[in-house]
Amino acid sequence: MKKIYLSALFLGMIASANAQEAAQKMNDLQLNEVAAPTTFAPKALGVEVWNNNFDNPADWTIDNDGQTGAAFGWTIDATSDGWWSANGITSTSGGNFAELSNGDPQTGSTSPQALNVVYTMTTAMPIDVVNAPANTANTSDVTLQYQEFGARFNDLQEVQISTDGGTTWTTVRNNLDYSVLSASGGSAYANPENVSINLAPYLDNTTAQNLLIRFSWTTNFPSLATNPNVWIAYGWYIDDVKIVTNPDNDIEVTSNYFGSEGLYYYQIPTTQVAPIDFSANVFNGGINAQDEVQLNVSVDGTAFGSSAAGNTIASGASDSIFLTTPYTPAATVGSHTITQTITQTQVDDVPTNNVISDYTFQVTDLIYARDNGTADGQRGNQGLAFESGNLFDIWADQQVRAIDVQLHNTTNVGTFIYGKIYSIDAATGDFIEEGVSDYHEVTAQDLTGTVTLELYSWVQLTAATQTYLVVVGSDGDGGTTNDLVVKTAGASEIQTTFFKDESDTWFYSTATPMVRLNFNPTIGLNENVLEGVSIYPNPSEGIVTVSNDNNTTNTIEVFNLVGERVYSTTASTSTQIDLSANGTGVYIVKVYNEKGSFVERVVIK
């Protein structure tokens, strides 16, 4: 895949605040452990050397940046003060918890969010980790653990530490690995979410004797600080903070990769089969060095290969391990399951955090798909102009005539949608239109299956060009009720899935839309497009002419983008249509008879 560098942004909506999510920079995956199903029984882990469950609020120093009242900044008590969650966090200890709020963004609120604020909550006294009575090994190899609840919108939630009395702060975790919760998708954190942050890379036996912990909240978009939407907080709840010594042996998978030159697919046509690479980034969160750390890959239950042997990873260090030989599936229709495991000489004390989920993909006759086929969200733009889709690499020259999409059931019946294919300018990274479909008017039946959008003509995809962007879009209706909402299924690497908003600005997303290439060679063979029809001028001041050279009687209908028919007539000759009374905007003109149809988008300015 050729590298594409575009705006690192997401767009989202929250219905209660009608808020637009702004620019977002994607950070590296944080070293936070999340339990996964396993058949292993881990041994008893490290010793707890410090804990705090907020029973005594005086254990923490709060700076609410001049704001007052329970709805702003940090509070410590047993009451949920914010607008978003009535009951707060369901933590292990119960009782008091810490809560972050920043006003109420709901319509009609008398306490809107504060702007230009940074809220912090810091341990009131330094923690001597090394000399804690329970730390009999006097080690600085420790992990910070806590329970949290909340959701991410445009805010930046950070966990920071200091070892010099608060002069210098180091961020050890943030919330940017969570999905954004908005009307177009995402989810809240688990209640509670158990978070673990290995502090060994940041501490030694001297600095760990003067440890301060700080929870900090502000906007993730300081360049847009005057926009109230970037200061919305659903709420951030913290409880049961503790520090424990690390296990002896613990290799953690922080990220893993599989795919062909940067992209991975769940459906691959026989014509586009390519070598699949495998790698993993791992972190040694244990006290001991880990020897012979290897990535092992099996295909359909048969061992395929392992990374190079002899890889030793020191305590607190990270490394990348990979197979030098890629796997190339046979170019025959069938399903394949990839299993990946991590092994090392030592017995891992925490095997749950290095489990890599199996990856199953299909070699198909016709369909090329980046999504995993199981819808888990949606992407829309509340009636505004919108395009959304994925990058695809082409490994062998092939013609395509259709784009498939699965629509979310919140898409309005009557919405006009289209498919489009872009190539990518190698010098500038700009998207260049290569082919587009006719407009398709969404029906109720379209919301329960796959919609196939036939391109006007065959588009030649070439291996020389290699990477194409395939999208589904809608012209929108100015932001009222008519909307295109595409299902999403699975996650994409950054800058491999994109959408364009009403300002013609491209953004990338990590939620994979269910937009696919359809290589069915029979599409279009039986088409019967009505010839001899043209519409001009376009754009128009209001009067357009439908020219008819086919000597037949045609029905002429005009629809606005809400799906309402605003004009209808029959004519056997060229006809003038006056649309000026309907206002400026985009209209769909359909001309048809029993022999075929002609559809064109007309702009009235």
Instruction: Report which of 225, 182, 215, 277 is spatially closest to residue 64, judged by C-alpha positions.
Output: 215
Instruction: Report which of 157, 132, 156, 150 is spatially closest to residue 49, judged by C-alpha positions.
Output: 132
pLDDT exceeds cutoff 70 at 173: yes
Angle at 11 between CA 5 and CA 17, to 5 degrees: 160
Question: Considering the chain, what is the average pLDDT of its residues?
Answer: 87
Is the distance from CB of 337 to CB of 369 less than 8 angstroms? no
Question: What percentage of the chain has pLDDT greater than the value 90?
Answer: 68
The domain 13-30+46-245 having CATH identifier 2.60.120.200: the answer here is yes
Least confident of 162-166, 232-236, 298-302, 583-587: 583-587
Domain map of the chain by residue range? Answer: 13-30+46-245, 251-365, 368-518, 533-604
pLDDT digits (tens, 9 = 90+) for 409-460: 999 999 999 999 999 998 888 999 999 998 999 999 999 999 999 998 889 9
Give SS3 for 381: coil
Least confident of 96-110, 172-186, 386-400, 574-588: 172-186
Q: Thinking of the domain 533-604, which architecture would CATH place it in?
A: Sandwich (2.60)
Is the distance from CB of 307 to CB of 323 less than 8 angstroms? yes
Which helix (DSSP H) or strand (DSSP E) does residue 244 occupy? Answer: strand 236-245
- pLDDT value, residue 184: 63
Higher pLDDT, 590 or 131: 131
pLDDT digits (tens, 9 = 90+) for 132-141: 999 998 999 9
- pLDDT value, residue 377: 86
- Of the pLDDT bands very low, low, confident and very high (cuts 50, 70, 90), residue 524 is low
Task: Look up residue 496 and give its two tokens.
Answer: 């491999």
Is the distance from CB of 123 to CB of 60 less than 8 angstroms? yes
- Of the pLDDT bands very low, low, confident and very high (cuts 50, 70, 90), residue 218 is very high
Question: What percentage of the chain has pLDDT greater than the value 70?
Answer: 89
pLDDT digits (tens, 9 = 90+) for 29-66: 222 222 333 333 333 467 999 999 999 999 999 999 99
- Rounded to the nearest 5 percent, the helix, strand and coil shares of the chain are 5, 45, 50
- pLDDT value, residue 38: 30
Average pLDDT over residues 522-545: 81
Q: Which residue has the tokens 């769909």?
A: 588
d(CA 307, CA 313): 14
Fold of 251-365: Immunoglobulin-like (2.60.40)
Is the distance from CB of 385 to CB of 479 less than 8 angstroms? no
- Of the pLDDT bands very low, low, confident and very high (cuts 50, 70, 90), residue 479 is low
Query: 421: which residues sit within 8 A by CB, 6+ positions away?
Result: 400, 403, 433, 434, 435, 436, 455, 459, 461, 468, 469, 470, 471
Higher pLDDT, 596 or 60: 60
**How much is the pTM?**
0.72
Cα-based torsion angle of the residue sequence 429, 468, 409, 557 in order, rounded to the nearest 10 degrees: 90
Look up residue 51 and give its amino acid: N
Instruction: Report which of 238, 230, 226 is spatially closest to residue 153, judged by C-alpha positions.
Output: 230
- How far is the first Cα of the chain from the last one, in angstroms, to the nearest whole number? 40
Fold of 368-518: Jelly Rolls (2.60.120)
Query: 279: which residues sit within 8 A by CB, 6+ positions away?
Result: 256, 257, 258, 295, 320, 321, 322, 323
Average pLDDT over residues 483-491: 92
Decide if 13-30+46-245 and 368-518 have a common fold: yes
- pLDDT value, residue 175: 95
Q: Which residue intervals of 283-413 are DSSP H helices?
A: none
- pLDDT value, residue 527: 52
- Of the pLDDT bands very low, low, confident and very high (cuts 50, 70, 90), residue 239 is very high
Task: Look up residue 381 and give its two tokens.
Answer: 């733009």
